[in-house]
Structure 1
Amino acid sequence: MKVYVLFFLLLLACMCPSLAQGTYENCCLRYGSGMKNSIKKKVVSYRIQQTDGGCNIPAIVFKTKRSKTFCADPSQQWVQDLMNTVKQGN
């Protein structure tokens, strides 16, 4: 009986870090190719993704009224323009 309990605890201890690692980050892995003007008008906020932890590219993550997210390259001019528009709207 003790062997089964020990095995179960060891298995549980090995699984916990892998489960936490899978849900720890919410990262952009690539950039979208662009955004339609109709969607740009629905953007309500954005966040800046840094290249730390599991996130390996810098990105701007835009969020729409319906909570959809879009990843964009921060070096693109349209991204900078949209960030300024969102700042002014808030």
Structure 2
Amino acid sequence: MKQVLVVLICLNIITFTVLAVRAPILKNCCRNYSKTIPQLKRVKGYDIQENNGRCRIEAVLFKVGKRWVCSDPNNDEVKNLVKKLSEKQQRR
């Protein structure tokens, strides 16, 4: 009886450890788009999120201060902002 209890406790610990490791990965994905698009002068950088199975939508992530803003990559304003940021990085 004691052995069964020890095995169940060990299985629970392993399960919770695996679940705890997966949580931060999903937290870093955009789940929806922001309604506002940041101004060029406030954007410190950007990154592209692909729909790769881990993240469910494609998005452009703009770094604004200490936070990230998720934007629709098909939006014309977002495309223009990415273009301007790319040109700005190439000049450096």
**TM-score per shorter chain, which class?**
0.7 to 0.9
- Cα displacement (A) at 1:56: 0.9
Who is 1:20 aligned against?
A: 21
Who is 2:32 aligned against?
A: 30
Gaps in structure 1 of 5+ consecutive residues: none
Who is 2:73 aligned against?
A: 74
Q: 1:80/1:63 Cα in 2 relative to 1: closer, same or farther (>3 Å)? A: same
- Cα displacement (A) at 1:46: 0.8
- Cα displacement (A) at 1:30: 0.6
Q: TM-score if structure 1 supplies the norm length?
A: 0.81
Q: TM-score if structure 2 supplies the norm length?
A: 0.80
Taking every aligned residue pair, what percent have the same amino acid on both sides?
Answer: 26
Q: 1:71/1:86 Cα in 2 relative to 1: closer, same or farther (>3 Å)? A: same
Gaps in structure 2 of 5+ consecutive residues: none
CA distance in 2, matches of 1:60, 1:48: 5
Which deviations, in whole Å up to 9, do the C-alpha atoms of 1:39-66 show, x marking residues without a partner?
A: x3111211111112331111000102x2
- Cα displacement (A) at 1:35: 2.1
- Cα displacement (A) at 1:3: 4.6
Q: Secondary structure at the match of 2:62?
A: strand
Stretch deviating more after TM superposition (79-88 or 6-15): 6-15
